[in-house]
Structure 1
Amino acid sequence: MINPGKGDVIHSTIAFVFGVLLLQFQPTLPPLFSLPLLLPLVILAWRYRSHLAIQLPAILMCGFLWASVMAHFAMQSSLPRALEGGDLQVTVVIESLPDVTAHRTRFWFHIEQISDAERRYSSPGRVQLSWYQNAPELAAGERWRLSVRLKRPHGMANPGTLDYERTLFQKGIRATGYIREGEMNRRLDTLYVGFLFQRLRQMIAERVDSVLQPGQPSGLVRALVIGDRSRLSQDEWAVFRKTGTNHLVAISGLHIGIVSGLAFFLGGWFWRQSAALCSLIPAPRVGAIAALVSGFCYAGLAGFAIPCVRALVMLSAVLCGLLFRRMVQPSRGLCIALLLIVLADPVSVLSAGFWLSFGAVAVIMLGILGGSRVRPVVIPGLFKIQWVVAMGLAPILLLLGFDLPVVSPLVNLIAVTLFSLLLVPLTLVSVLMLMLWPSLGVTLLTATAWSLGQIQAILALVAEHGDLISLAGTPPLWMLLGVLVSTLLLLLPAGIPGRWLGTLLLSPLLLYRPAHPPHGEVWMTMLDVGQGLAIVLETSDHVLLYDTGPMFPSGFNTGEAVIVPFLNTRGVEKIDRIIVTNGDMDHRGGVAALMRSFPSTELLSGEPERIPIGEPVRCTAGMQWVWDGVRFEILHPDGSSRWRGNNASCVLAVDTPAGRLLLTGDIEAEAEESLVANYGERLAATVVTIPHHGSASSSGGRFIAATDPQYGLISTGYRNRYGFPKAAVLERWQGQNASLLNTAEAGALSLRLKADGQIDGPFRYRETHRRYWMTP
């Protein structure tokens, strides 16, 4: 399928990868009867390998169909809908390190057998389970019999936020759930042979945790040695992100290269001490074998992550060339690594690490080995690598939604040198000694942890004063293609005509701003925040946020995880007003994170005494304001002190030429009756948010008749424990001919109430951005 020529290898690899990538944007998989076309396409590509106009489209389609085949196999292991929410008995093997918090212990498990009270079912393979109460000591490689409840992977679906379902699909997780308490749960085997690497990783993690005290960088040590980044705090990640050094704490080609390089040097040096041994096998070959074995072991400790596998394949190509005296060109080694990974795991192209990992190597090859001169002549050669990588990856980072640290090239010039020559080797030796010679290992690890702590402190200081470049919104396709071309042009060797066009093609990306509502319009987005509420209202020059979603015991909150990223995609730099309808956690959970990001925002609340930040003003019926031709009015609560809890929720009416929005928070029957008594027919609205997530305590008949909406929007969590929205409530609204939409099923919901009286939408995010792996 791929011609041996260097150029054809590159062209063919790019075509195949883009074919694989093309499938990942499809809402559904191609039908099974199209898959046999793969073989004729392979023959066609080989037959016309000297005709790129025929070969490359054929290879692209090969990539598309190959990814389809693998996706069909993956989707066949999805959990049957009939098993969702029921009591199941499973035999499982623990695959991963524990993710332990104060409230639960989470693992990945491989299911060997699954059954309910009636029969056995085919195994969905890997699942993610949480043990919430009385979790025993668990270890990777153990075999258990458990009583569980499972559901299909389902995440919050919003513009600009993490696609949790995609993340689980990439990791091969076909169901999530929790372990039920009971005598049924018991350990069957203490060690399953196929998980020796995972058990070793856990032993190292436990030994490190036993030595380092709170306040010492145990999370960073675990990240550098076994690739476990779960113990790094959000503040630590923020520092690495703001300084552009987050690649240093993810085991990748740099780390594999350090370990393999040391093994190559030491293996060859020891072998040279014996002339007899050197006469049998040359020392360089022994060094190559030592480097290959050590690289494989280190990649295994890191869980064989994509950057490690890529580095391992390229390392193998180079070292095998040394062993067999047949060198492999760097570009061909990169293409081999790329093809092998994509063939084995096509969904790896969905990972940001995939593009950053291969992109970094590619731009180094193009910018350094290709003879680029894109730097001032006074900058040393080492900084040239950092400059080329920073410039080459900048567009990729921006397009993937990452911030771009201005100080990254300078910081990495120092940090990469320190990590390469000192910190990574010292950390690995310390942990090795900890396992083999504990007394010496404790001393070394303590000293290493102190050094790492000093580096973190310096990086934190830099992060406080470093600027970030961010991209507002999602640019159109033509702009993305222009960025790709501009990057290639800028990295070309000096003297090639047209390189200046790279800067010109890059400028639209930096100047891009998303569209905003014209005067007199409101754009409404009800975000998918699970069991909670968050609504963004945009006018031409103002933004209002109605509720901030939930916060969970783990500290995860939708203000930081959902609302801020969404506002970034909209290019929002200021929130003019936040209304926290009541003090319940599913409405105020994200307010602290939002006030950190937008500190000058005005706060209103129906229960200001329960809002633990800022100086919120109590919302009271009669408050009115006009923004950009759109009228806002608080309808409830009145000044009475009797309104508490759900019934204290701020009810907001938004009037536009296209109709009225009525946002109702968590009000229940008593507050609904008060609104009907006070406003009567003036409650009529085009769009209503269903009160209290569709609970049985709300949505009375008189209130429904008074509002008489065209659309009723509901915000609930998928398969939530309350059973919201209640069936009887849905029937009452449908009896009023309201079209009902639920974020649990549709993802984020958006409407545009236009100045000409028309309504665009509602748009369902799970429809407009559907991918084949999404739960229907």
Structure 2
Amino acid sequence: MIPAARTPPDAPTPSHAGPPLVGPAVATCVLAGCLAALWLPRFPPLWVGLPALLAGAGLLLATPRLRLPAGVLLGLGLAALHAQHALSLQLPPRLEKTTASVTGRIAGLPIHEAGRTRFEFRVDDAPPAPAVLRGRLVRASLRDPALDARMRYRAGQRWRLDLRLRAPRGLRNPGGFDGERSALAARLAAQGHVVAPAGALMLSPASGIDAWRESMSARIGEGVEAPSSRFVRALALGDTRGLDDSDWALLRAVGLTHLVAISGFHVGLVAGFAALLAQALWWCFPGLSRRLPRPLAAALAGVIGAGLYAAVAGFALPTVRTVLMIAAVATMRLGRRRVDMPGALAVAALVMLLLDPLSVLSAGFWLSFMGVAWLLWCLPDPERRPLRAFLSAQAVATLGLLPLSVALFGQASLAGPVANLVAVPWWSLVVVPLALAGTALDSLFAGAGTGLWRLSALCFDLAWPLFERLGHSPLAVRWIPESDAWALLLALLGAFWLLLPRAVPGRALALLLWLPLLWPARQLPGYGEAELQVLDVGQGLAVLVRTARHQMLYDAGPASRDGEYDAGARVVVPALRALGVGRLDRIMLSHADRDHAGGLEAVVEAFPGAALVAPDGAGVGAQRPCVSGDRWQWDGVRFEVLHPTPYFPYLRNESSCVLRIEAAGATALFTGDISEVVETRLLNLRRTDLRADVVLVPHHGSGSSSSASFIAATGARHALVSSGHGNRFGHPRPAVVSRWRAAGAEVHDTARAGSLAVRLAPGGATVESRRVAQPRGWDAESRGRAASEAR
């Protein structure tokens, strides 16, 4: 691609004047400062952030030659202050598991599931709410199949609720969703479960823009019978509640997620239509030009139209970015200045960063701004034919955003460019306008928009089969293992190099810079060594065991009976893909309880062909039983099952597979959920085989396990506990932790440490926690420090 030629400035800028105050260079430096503050292991404290903010702002305005370092200081100080403030808003530890009576309004669109409803709740800034919650955002949920929550809880309603509170907390795993980062960016103060839903009291009916959005979404659902009505709701109103996991998986496979839930391009189309409508009105009534020139009226109409559409979309980040860009262009027109699109993008980025520097923690920020930046830098010559310009833009977007897609989502779609060639013009010029026209018409005359909505759904259905075929073709999504941050920087540099003018030599060498991102070093164990990954799955267990050429999963994580949470789909599968696991040779279930086997179905679907091993009688369809005396060897690593013995009856926890792994002179012992009864049995039958460097603490640290004699027999240096934060069982029990520590073992708990990476190598056994290896300022442990500093 040939970079677009730059229009020279009207007059040369003196060298001593420095870069423009509002321009791409300063915006980039402010962004760099925000990143520096937010990706430190700990956010800069108040006494660092405030001076940096003041110094950056002062130098930016007073010393043009220092605007670039001043921008970095400004971004660092601003992001540090916002981050510290967001942490201080979160529920303090002393209020964990307490119940509070609060009044407030439902914000956004509630999510209704089978027997469960979730919504964000803005607490009133007045009693009876506790002072720490007043005016803050709480994510509430309730379960009560007897109540029609779908009808009761609507967007914009005011309620009095009794909430059992807990601070925002997430799991930390390779390739996993970081809930604590998301909570920080959203300024979420707490999560709450509605206590006694029957006693909740609605104080006022639904009102506001979100109430209107929910009402229009319901009308679309009633008026459009086709299954694709869920996509009409998403494209018209940004309401993606009707899309399930399979829909999102298909959209990711064909690279179309950016077009669903209203993209910035759709906002631009609405703004353009509003501007054309204003120009037509001014043409029909020439007298209006005496009060306001037609070009200025068109610019203002575009801003108003874009703003209204962004409100309809719930002010999603891509729409806000587009509105800011349109507003910047309109301001330049009003000031009769030359319109500069890179400058407009810089203004939009600066405004976004100044208003909310924590937005850089979201994937939407990067995909939105970087996508436009690539297109502006490599925008094809506008004099080219439209088809060639469109194809060139697709190529630029594909190459430029591929590194970000891999880094943010761990995947790349070869079908994406093909699908976008069809979806971008068809959805944006046909499906979306019909859906929007129907929404506008129905807003004025109830029921009048049904025909247009049905036509929009029909047009959507015409192209959807093509995307389904592409999504299940060999061109579909490819999963890429997790890599370091520097690999992303190299890949972005490679993309920049590839998109330089054709005359630049060595462009093919740029592909080498992509290798660390697309084929990262997996650091697999050597021959005779083993690696264990104890995943942070909450109250349950899932452990990946890797040798030089084999992979085994011991347990598959928990899943709730109502389908609300499935660690297999949400944690285990993404983690395996991020670790570069392409297949599983064996899946061993310690027993069939849901906290150990609940995620099995999702794992088997993602990694078919693995041999399933489980205790006889577990009822999980195992190909072979797990029985004492079973031995095998992979790549110089020895495996042996110690329990259950042959003909041992299936007694759930007591029948757990106990597995011994010996590699490079170090030993690990997996114990499942056995109790002291089975521990005593093992002490009598296999005492010498219990000796181990690393032990998975039996039954998550339950008080009925980990007897003193069993702990002494293992002689472990590392005791690993897989538990959920604040679980109702109180695991691990303090007495159990004390016994392991008294025996000389270091206790590692996934609830505090995140996933645990264990190496069995010639130097012995080493344990590394995810939260220690990759510390982040938004980690739960930072909450207490921020709160104390704020006080």
Q: Aligned equivalents of 1:325 and 1:607: distance in 2?
A: 80
Q: Aligned equivalents of 2:657 and 2:236: distance in 1?
A: 51
Q: Aligned equivalents of 1:446 and 1:157: distance in 2?
A: 43
Q: Aligned equivalents of 2:640 and 2:342: distance in 1?
A: 63
Query: Contact between 2:615 and 2:657, CA under 8 Å: does it hold in 1?
Result: yes
Q: 1:559 is matched with which residue? A: 568
Q: Does 1:173 align with 2:188?
A: yes
Cα 1:644/1:534, change in 2 over 3 Å: same
SS of alignment partner, residue 552 of structure 2: strand
Letter in 2 for 1:355: W
Cα displacement string for residues 582-614 of structure 1 (whole angstroms, at most 9, x for unaligned residues):
1111111222222122212111012565326xx
Cα displacement string for residues 362-393 of structure 1 (whole angstroms, at most 9, x for unaligned residues):
111111157999xxx99722211111111111
Residue 528 of structure 1: CA displacement?
A: 0.3
Q: Does 1:340 align with 2:354?
A: no
Q: Aligned equivalents of 1:241 and 1:672: distance in 2?
A: 47
Query: Contact between 1:734 and 1:740, CA under 8 Å: does it hold in 2?
Result: yes
For structure 1, list consecutive stretches of 5 or more residues without a partner in the other structure: none
Q: Aligned equivalents of 1:309 and 1:327: distance in 2?
A: 23
Residue 467 of structure 1: CA displacement?
A: 1.7
Residue 555 of structure 1: CA displacement?
A: 5.1
Q: Aligned equivalents of 2:334 and 2:22: distance in 1?
A: 26
Cα 1:293/1:159, change in 2 over 3 Å: same
Q: Aligned equivalents of 1:3 and 1:529: distance in 2?
A: 55
Question: Which residue, out of 434, 441, 445, partners 1:426?
Answer: 434
SS of alignment partner, residue 304 of structure 1: coil
Q: Does 1:693 align with 2:700?
A: yes
Cα 1:624/1:254, change in 2 over 3 Å: same
Report the more deviating stretch, 567-576 or 183-192: 183-192
Q: 2:116 is matched with which residue? A: 104
Cα displacement string for residues 460-483 of structure 1 (whole angstroms, at most 9, x for unaligned residues):
112111424646433344433322
Q: What CA RMSD, in Å, does the superposition of the two structures yield over aligned residues? A: 2.6
Residue 105 of structure 1: CA displacement?
A: 0.7
Q: 1:380 is matched with which residue? A: 388
Query: Contact between 1:370 and 1:493, CA under 8 Å: does it hold in 2?
Result: no
Q: 2:338 is matched with which residue? A: 327
Letter in 2 for 1:437: F
Letter in 1 for 2:429: L
Q: Aligned equivalents of 1:372 and 1:338: distance in 2?
A: 28
Residue 64 of structure 1: CA displacement?
A: 0.9
Q: Aligned equivalents of 2:386 and 2:270: distance in 1?
A: 32
Describe how 1:339-738 pairs up with structure 2 within 5 A.
Answer: 339-368=350-379, 380-468=388-476, 470=478, 472-497=480-505, 499-552=507-560, 553-554=562-563, 556-607=565-616, 609-611=618-620, 615-738=622-745
Q: Does 1:125 align with 2:139?
A: no
Question: Which residue, out of 204, 208, 222, partners 2:216?
Answer: 204
Q: Does 1:273 align with 2:284?
A: yes
SS of alignment partner, residue 400 of structure 1: helix
Q: Aligned equivalents of 1:169 and 1:121: distance in 2?
A: 16
Residue 758 of structure 1: CA displacement?
A: 2.1
Query: Contact between 1:42 and 1:62, CA under 8 Å: does it hold in 2?
Result: yes
Letter in 2 for 1:31: P
Identity, in percent, stands at 35
Query: Contact between 1:126 and 1:174, CA under 8 Å: does it hold in 2?
Result: yes
Q: Aligned equivalents of 1:66 and 1:8: distance in 2?
A: 17
Cα displacement string for residues 641-683 of structure 1 (whole angstroms, at most 9, x for unaligned residues):
4232111211100012342211011112332222222112331
Report the more deviating stretch, 175-184 or 88-97: 175-184
Q: Does 1:313 align with 2:324?
A: yes
Letter in 2 for 1:773: W
SS of alignment partner, residue 154 of structure 2: coil
Residue 500 of structure 1: CA displacement?
A: 4.4
Report the more deviating stretch, 446-455 or 684-693: 446-455
Q: Does 1:24 align with 2:24?
A: no
Q: Aligned equivalents of 1:37 and 1:555: distance in 2?
A: 44
SS of alignment partner, residue 763 of structure 1: strand
Q: 2:258 is matched with which residue? A: 247
Q: Aligned equivalents of 1:768 and 1:85: distance in 2?
A: 29
Letter in 2 for 1:202: E
Q: 1:236 is matched with which residue? A: 247
Residue 287 of structure 1: CA displacement?
A: 3.0
Letter in 1 for 2:191: T
Q: Aligned equivalents of 2:515 and 2:719: distance in 1?
A: 43
Q: How many residues align?
A: 760
SS of alignment partner, residue 109 of structure 2: coil
Q: Aligned equivalents of 2:362 and 2:584: distance in 1?
A: 31
Describe how 1:26-65 pairs up with structure 2 within 5 A.
Answer: 26-34=40-48, 35-50=50-65, 54-65=66-77
Report the more deviating stretch, 329-338 or 223-232: 223-232
Query: Contact between 1:537 and 1:545, CA under 8 Å: does it hold in 2?
Result: yes
Q: 1:14 is matched with which residue? A: 28
Q: Does 1:767 align with 2:772?
A: yes
Cα 1:182/1:389, change in 2 over 3 Å: closer
Report the more deviating stretch, 719-728 or 268-277: 268-277
Q: Aligned equivalents of 2:229 and 2:590: distance in 1?
A: 41
Query: Contact between 1:372 and 1:493, CA under 8 Å: does it hold in 2?
Result: no
Q: Aligned equivalents of 1:42 and 1:679: distance in 2?
A: 70
Query: Contact between 1:695 and 1:725, CA under 8 Å: does it hold in 2?
Result: yes
SS of alignment partner, residue 380 of structure 1: helix
Residue 278 of structure 1: CA displacement?
A: 4.6
Query: Contact between 1:647 and 1:666, CA under 8 Å: does it hold in 2?
Result: yes
Residue 425 of structure 1: CA displacement?
A: 0.3
Q: 2:178 is matched with which residue? A: 163
SS of alignment partner, residue 397 of structure 2: helix
Residue 84 of structure 1: CA displacement?
A: 0.7
Query: Contact between 1:106 and 1:128, CA under 8 Å: does it hold in 2?
Result: yes
Letter in 2 for 1:711: H
Residue 396 of structure 1: CA displacement?
A: 1.7
Residue 188 of structure 1: CA displacement?
A: 2.2
Report the more deviating stretch, 289-298 or 309-318: 289-298
Cα displacement string for residues 264-284 of structure 1 (whole angstroms, at most 9, x for unaligned residues):
222322332234345554444
Q: Aligned equivalents of 1:658 and 1:142: distance in 2?
A: 63
Q: 2:274 is matched with which residue? A: 263
Query: Contact between 1:582 and 1:648, CA under 8 Å: does it hold in 2?
Result: yes
Residue 176 of structure 1: CA displacement?
A: 0.6
Query: Contact between 1:661 and 1:687, CA under 8 Å: does it hold in 2?
Result: yes
Cα displacement string for residues 186-206 of structure 1 (whole angstroms, at most 9, x for unaligned residues):
1223356xxx22121121122
SS of alignment partner, residue 649 of structure 2: coil
Cα 1:113/1:605, change in 2 over 3 Å: farther
Cα displacement string for residues 17-46 of structure 1 (whole angstroms, at most 9, x for unaligned residues):
011011121222223222224323333344
Residue 409 of structure 1: CA displacement?
A: 2.0
Q: 1:74 is matched with which residue? A: 86
Report the more deviating stretch, 488-497 or 543-552: 488-497
Cα displacement string for residues 207-245 of structure 1 (whole angstroms, at most 9, x for unaligned residues):
2223334x6123212211221222211111122111111
Question: Which residue, out of 169, 172, 178, partners 1:154?
Answer: 169
Query: Contact between 1:88 and 1:115, CA under 8 Å: does it hold in 2?
Result: no
Q: Aligned equivalents of 1:420 and 1:336: distance in 2?
A: 26
Q: Aligned equivalents of 1:207 and 1:559: distance in 2?
A: 36
SS of alignment partner, residue 528 of structure 1: coil
Report the more deviating stretch, 250-259 or 273-282: 273-282
Q: Aligned equivalents of 2:410 and 2:428: distance in 1?
A: 25
